[in-house]
Amino acid sequence: MTEGFIPVTPDHPILVGIFEGFSWIRCEGKGSFMNSPVIKTFADERIASGESHIVVDLQQCSGMDSTFMGTLAGIATRLMSSGEGGLQVAEPGERNRRSLEDLGLDFLMEIDPPEATWRGRLDAIRPGLQPPQGAGKLGGVQRARHVLEAHQTLSDMNDKNASEFSGVVNLLENEISEKEKLAPGKD
């Protein structure tokens, strides 16, 4: 795995697995800006290795912040751009489903698709999941860039999101700019 990982803590565990035809990411606890870089890095590595189908398992996810959902949207967009794949969400529960739908993300990803290839295999998939390899810390600028990218992705989805997240995007752009002025090239 690559440098820049945030350690996944017991409060924000992420488990992953690679299976025939798809890669699996499971969030146990809250999906947040703390664990979304881990998900992004794993997904980026899988996409770079040719994976076209990623499943995000939210069965044990207690909720998601906007950075986490923006990260999922970014992954879904990259998978869709290949023309062959996509992101599917497994067992989100009503609250998480509503959160995804409220931001319009149900147009980017399949939420609990009834005909998914992984259906009927959950009992075999989940026990084999492991924490992703590698750990590290995102610096302040790296973390701000990650959060900014996630919110820009959400803002690009529709006018409602653009309006809702414009303050966050502007604040983060200014924060990154100021930090880079004070310490150019440092993260």
Domain ranges of the chain: 14-136
List the one residue out of 177, 182, 151 whose CA is nearest residue 164: 151
Dihedrals phi, psi of 55, to nearest 5 degrees: -115, 130
Dihedrals phi, psi of 56, to nearest 5 degrees: -110, 115
pLDDT in single tens digits along all 187 residues of the chain: 333 444 444 445 899 999 999 999 999 999 999 999 999 999 999 999 999 999 999 999 999 999 999 999 999 999 998 778 899 999 999 999 999 999 999 999 999 999 999 999 999 999 999 999 865 457 778 899 999 999 999 999 999 999 999 999 999 999 999 888 887 666 5
pLDDT for the residue numbered 3: 38
In CATH, which superfamily holds the domain spanning 14-136?
STAS domain (3.30.750.24)
d(CA 23, CA 25): 7
C-beta of residue 175 within 8 angstroms of C-beta of residue 144: yes
- Tokens standing for residue 123: 């009992």
The pTM assigned to this predicted structure is: 0.89
